[in-house]
Structure 1
Amino acid sequence: MEKAIKNINAERIVVGILLNHPSWLIELNGLMKPEYFWAKGHRMLFYIVFKLLEEGVESIDSMAILARAEKIQKATDVINENGGIEYIEELRILSEDYKLDDLKMYAQDVTTASFKRDSLIMQENVAKQLVDNPDMTYSDVVMLLQEKQAGLVNRYSHSGGLKFLNDVFDVVWGEVESNWNERGYAGLPPKWELVRRFFTYLNGELIVIGARAKYGKSNFAINETHHLAVENNVPVGYFDTEMKTRTFLTRIVAIDSGVPAEMILNGTYRNDVDMIMQVEASKERVRKAPILHKYDAHWDKAKISHEAKLLKMRHNIGFLIWDYIKIKEVGSTGTKEHNELGNWTIFLKDLAGDLDIPVLTFAQLSPHERRLADSDKINRYCSTVAYLLPKSSEEISRDFGAENGGTDFLFVDYNRNGSTMSDPAKGVNFFYDRETLRMEQASYQVLVDEYQ
C-alpha cells in the first residue's frame, strides 16, 4: 500500500534544482534525507550531491557525479539503471528555472510523501503486533501506539523531539566542559588579558562592538583574527564589507610582523634586511593559519547565512566575524536606525545559535557618541555590547600620558555573561600603533581593582 504514496515529480525537481545549485542544499536545514526519496536513482543522486558539497566541490556536472559514484558500492549501477548521464542532464534542464523557494516547497512535498509511507508501515507493524499478542491490555495498546507515533514524529522532526534533561545531560555537560581551559575562563579568549575578565567568546553568543567611523573597528577584528587563527589555530570566518582580501592580508601581516602596513603596501620594507626577514616569516605563519576571508560590497542577511553555513559544513569554523553592520537608506523605508540595528542583532544572534559558534560584529557610532542609539533594544538580543573609543586629551593626561595609559579604551556597557563597567569614560586602556595596526593592552589601567 505504501508504494502508492510517492511524488516522483517533486523528487525530480528537487534533485534537478540541486544539480544546478548544490549549495542550496544547506538552506533546507536538515529537512531532507536521502531515504525520503522513493526512487533509488533520486536517492543516490541526492546523496552524491550532498557528499560533493561537503567535500567543497563548487560546480557539479555529470562527470563529477559519476566519478563520485564510483566510490560508493553499487552507486554507478543504480545511476545507470535509472538513465545515466542522459537522465542527469534531463533533470538539470527540467529544473534550471526554479528558485530557492521552489526547492523548499518541493522538498516539503517529498518529505510529506515519505512521512505518509512510513506512517502506513508503522500502522502495519502495530497491526501485526496486535494480532501476534492477543493478550495485550488496553493500556498496553495505548503505550504501543504512543511509542510508535512518537518515534515516527521524532525521526522527521528537525529538533529531534523534546527530551528530558536527564536524557541529554551527559552530552550537554560535555559541551560545557569543552569550553573550559587551564587558564580559568570559558570559551575562546579575546587577545587582551584584562578584556577576558569581562567577556570571552562563547558558542552561540553575539558580541557587538560600537566604534566611530574610520576608528579601529576593522583593526580590532583583524587583531582578534590574528590572535585566534594565527596564534591559536582556531578556524575563523571573516565576512568583510570594505576590505578586499589583499588589503586584509597586508594588514594581518603588518600585525604579525611589526612592519608598518604602508611599507608592506608600497614594498619599501624591502630596503631593510631585517624587515624582509620579519615579513617573510610572517607570510609563512599567516599562510598556514585557518583564515577564510571574503569581501563583498553587497552582503545581505541571506548571503551571510548561506556562506556561513557553507564554512561551518566544509571547514568547521569556530569563530565568525561580520565587519560590519551598515544601515542603508533607513529613511526611505521609514524604519528607524535603532530598529534596523535591532533586526541585525536578532539575525546574527540566531546565526550564532544555528552554527553554535561565537559571532563578533561591529556597529558604527555617530561622531562624539559614546553609546549606540537606543542600545537597550540591542541589548535584548546580543550577549555583550562594548565600545571602542578614543580618549580625550584630558583622559590621556589623567592616565599618565599615551605611553603609559594608551590613546584608546574599550568600555563594556552590557554583558549577559560577565561583568560590566560603571563609568563610560573609563575602560580597558589600549595602545594602538596605527603604523603596524597592533592593539595592545596599555601598561597603566584605570581602577583595575574596581573591575575585579
Structure 2
Amino acid sequence: MSNFRELPYCMEAEQALIGVILLNPIRINEMLKNFIADCFYVEQHKIIYKKIIDISKNGELNVVSVIDSLQKDKQLDFCEGADYLYHLMRSVIATANIKVYMNVIYDNYILRKLIEHGNDAIELAHNTLGKNVNSIIEENISNLQNLKNNIDVTTDLIDDLNEVISLMASDTIKNNTITTGYHSLDRLGCFVKGELSVIGARPSMGKTAFVLNVCHQIMKHSSIIFFSLEMSKTQLLIRMLSNVSQVKKDTIEKSTYSENDFDKFTDAIELLKKYNDNLIIRDGKMLSISEITSTITSVNLDRIKNKKPLIDMIVIDYFSLLATDPQLMKQPEAMQLAENSKKLAKISKEMNLSVVLVAQLNRNCEARVNKKPMSSDLKGCGQLEQDADVVMLLYREDYYHKNEDGYEDNNHLDIFVEKNRNRKTGGAKLYFDMDTQSISNIFHDTKDFSYDKVGDK
C-alpha cells in the first residue's frame, strides 16, 4: 500500500495571485520581488513568476511583455500558451485580495518545507553518518528556527503590501466602506474594511438586535461571518426572520401564525435564501482568536476555489466571551482582554476585513444622572478603546423610563459614534420595534440628529 500523499498547495490561489500581478503590475512588483518563485508549487506558475520578476527589474511589465519573453525562451507552450495568462487575468475576483492569495500560497509553501525537513529528519535518524544524537537534534532545531524566521520576514512583507495597495487606490476609504442603509451611519463611514469597529452598550439596549439588522442590510451586497458566543444559530435565525418578516418573535417561536403572518414569514425565508451565501453563522462557547482566524481562512479558501467574493466583514458577539490565550490564563483579566483586542485589530488590517466587535459596558453609566454612555465605559479594557478605529455606543431612553407613570415609549435607538478615526464623529437615531427586533431609519436624509454628550448642558 502506497504512503504517497500530494504535497499541500492551492491551485486557485496561485492562479489568482499571478492574475492580480498581470492586471496591476505598477508598484506591486516592487513588493513581490522577495516572494520567491518556490512559493509556487505548480511548475508553470514558477516559470511565469520568474519572468514577471525579471521583466519588472529590466523593462515594462505587462501581460504582452511576459508572453513575449516566454515565447523567446520557448517556454510559452509549456506554460499553457498566451490564452492561459489572459484566463488568469479574467478570473481575478478583486485585486485588493492579493494579500489573501499570498498568505494561502505562502502557508502551503511553509507546510511543504516542513514536510521536507521532517523527511530529512527521518532519513538522518535512520542514517546518522556517525553524528551523535544531540547534534542531530540541534541540526533539526536549527532548520525549524530558520523556517520560523522566514515566516516572520514574509509577514512583514505582507504588512508592507497593505500600504502599497492603499497607495494604489484612488479613494481607499470610500472603496472599502460597507454601507448599511442607515443613512446617518453610512455618511460617517462606521464599517470600513481594514478597521475594528466596537459596538458597546449595557444589557438590554439592543446590541445583538442592532448587529443582526446591520447584517441583514449588508448581506445584500457583501459577505459576512457572524461569530456568536452567546446565542445559538437557531436563536439568531429566529430573530432575523422576525425582523425581516415583521412577524413577532413570540409568534414564530410558538408557530401561532395568522394567514397574513405566515405569508410574510415564508416570504422572509425566501428572501434570506436568496442571500444565503453572504451570511455564515458560527456559534459556540469560548471561541478563541486562532479558531476565528482559522475559520476565516478556511471560508476564504473555499470561496477562492468557487470563484466567489471573499469575506468583507466578521461580527463577534461578544468580546468578553472570547477564549483567552492559555499562556495568559494567570494574568489579570484586563491583560487577557487587551491581548484579544490587539489581535482583532491586527486581523482587520492583515485580512482586510471590517471586524465588528460587540462589547459590554460597565456599570458606571448606571450611577450617573445622565445615563448616556461614554467610550470609557467599555468593560474591563482601556486597550479596546485605543485599538478601535470606530466606537459606537447604543442607548435607549425607553429602557430607563419604562416604569414611570405617564411615560410613552418613543421606540428610539440612539447610536453615539464617539470615535471615528480620521473621520467625523456624530450619531444616528433609529426606530427600534421591540416586538420584531427590527431597526429602521427615522430620518430619510443624511443629517445627523442633535444629541447631547455626557456632561453637556
**Shorter-normalised TM range:** 0.5 to 0.7
Aligned mates of 1:294, 1:278 — CA distance in 2: 26
Tell me by how many angstroms 1:322 deviates. Answer: 1.2
Quote the residue 1:264 is aligned against. Answer: 252
Alpha-carbon deviation of 1:221?
1.3
- In structure 2, what is the equivalent of residue 188 of structure 1? 178
Task: Provide the C-alpha distance between the structure 2 equivalents of 1:164 and 1:194, rounded to a whole number of angstroms.
Answer: 29
Equivalent position amino acid for 1:408 in 2: L
**Residue 301 (structure 1) shift:** 1.2
In the TM superposition, what are the counterparts of 1:225-374 in structure 2 within 5 Å? 225-230=215-220, 233-269=221-257, 272-289=258-275, 290-315=278-303, 316-327=310-321, 333-367=329-363, 369=365, 370=373, 371-373=377-379
Matching residue of 2:99 = none
Structure 1 counterpart SS, 2:387:
coil
* 1:387 matches 2:389: no
Deviations 1:182-234 (A, max 9, x none): xxxx611234212234333111100011122344221111101101014xx31
Equivalent residues in 2 for 1:37-436 (5 A)?
107=113, 110=116, 157=154, 159=157, 168=164, 172=166, 175-177=169-171, 180=174, 187-230=177-220, 233-269=221-257, 272-289=258-275, 290-315=278-303, 316-327=310-321, 333-367=329-363, 369=365, 370=373, 371-373=377-379, 376-391=382-397, 404=410, 406-420=411-425, 427-436=427-436
Gaps of 5+ in 1: 1-11, 20-29, 44-71, 74-100, 114-152, 422-426
Residue type matched to 1:322 in 2?
Answer: I
Look up the match of 1:439: 439
In 2 relative to 1, CA 273–318 (structure 1 residues): closer, same or farther, beyond 3 Å?
Answer: same
Structure 2 spans left out of the alignment, 5+ residues: 10-31, 47-78, 81-106, 120-149, 304-309, 366-372
Q: Are the aligned partners of 1:235 and 1:291 in contact in 2 as well (CA < 8 Å)? A: yes
Q: Kindly tell me: are residues 209 and 415 of structure 1, through their superposed partners in 2, closer, same or farther at Cα, counting changes over 3 Å?
A: same
CA distance in 2, matches of 1:250, 1:179: 34
Q: CA deviation at 1:345?
A: 1.7
- What secondary structure sits across from 1:448 in the alignment? coil
- Corresponding residue for 1:448? 450
Report if the CA contact (8 A) 2:378-2:385 is conserved: no
Q: Distance between the aligned counterparts of 2:199 and 2:399, measured in 1? A: 23
Alignment check: 8 A CA contact 1:342 1:381 kept: no
**1:148 corresponds to:** none
Contact 1:255 1:438 in 2 (8 A): yes
TM-score, normalised with respect to structure 1? 0.57
**Aligned mates of 2:323, 2:355 — CA distance in 1:** 25
Task: Label 1:203 to 1:447 Cα distance change in 2 as closer, same or farther (>3 A).
Answer: closer
- Matched residues, percent identical? 18
SS of 1:346 mapped into structure 2:
helix
> CA, structure 1 residues 401+13, in 2 after alignment: closer, same or farther (shift >3 Å)?
farther
Cα RMSD after superposing both structures: 4.9
- TM-score normalised according to structure 2 size: 0.56
Equivalent residues of 1:402, 1:431 under 8 A apart:
no
The 1:347/1:267 distance shift into structure 2, 3 A limit, reads: same
Distance 1:333 1:379 in 2: 22
Kindly indicate whether the alpha-carbon contact (under 8 Å) linking 1:213 and 1:366 is maintained by their aligned counterparts in 2.
no
Instruction: Look up the equivalent residue of 2:234 and give its one-letter code.
Output: R
Amino acid in the other structure paired with 1:433: D
Residue 189 of structure 2 aligns to which amino acid in structure 1? F
The answer to whether the Cα contact below 8 Å between 2:333 and 2:380 also exists between their aligned partners in 1 is no
> Per-residue displacement from partner, 1:343-377 (whole Å, max 9, x unpaired)?
22211111111211211111112345432146643
Contact 2:195 2:354 in 1 (8 A): yes
